Amino acid sequence: MLRPELKNGNKLKIYTYPDPVLRKKAEPVKVIDERIRRLAQDMLYTMYEAPGIGLAANQVGEASRIIVFDLRPKENGRHPCALINPEIIDAEGEVTTEEACLSVIDYCADVKRKARVRVKGLDLEGKEVSLDAEGLLAVCLQHEIDHLDGILFIDHLSALKRALYKKRLKKKLKKSS
């Protein structure tokens, strides 16, 4: 069940940079039980509400290797997907695209990624699945799997661009407190 039936969920808190939870490496899910399925549903609900196209469990404070994603706009009908213990098993080519993140507020930048990836993982029933992806889906999967390893898209930027973002964020956070 890579594509879970979309049910109402609970809106979870999305942690934002520089919260240390975003730097924690997520642990593999050993048992896919009702708690894990509920978490995936809540993550999907949270992602749609944000709105975003992908979300990793550690972005909502759970150190479990779970990602959810849906690239289809609401008006074209939802296409929710959940993947447990995802890993990139093959990658090729190169593409640079503009990325943003629900955990990195008010910032987007061009990031270099692999153009095509093959990802394997488990669906919500525990069955092994494999996805071949290119374009936006490939970028989204790489972005979310990075989160599970404690890596943010800004880590792919030059030191100067990261420093400028951190300075701007510090100023913004100072203003709001």
Which residues participate in catalysis according to the annotation? 144
Q: Are 39 and 59 in contact (CB under 8 A)?
A: no
d(CA 59, CA 42): 12
DSSP for 34-102, written as a single string: HHHHHHHHHHHHHHHHTT-SEEEGGGGT--B-EEEE--S-GGG----EEEEEEEEEEEE--EEEEEEET
Residue with tokens 């092994």: 128
Helix (H, G, I), strand (E, B) or coil at 23: helix
Distance between alpha carbon 21 and the CA centroid of its chain, in Å? 14
HSE-up (13 A, CA, CB side) for residue 53:
13
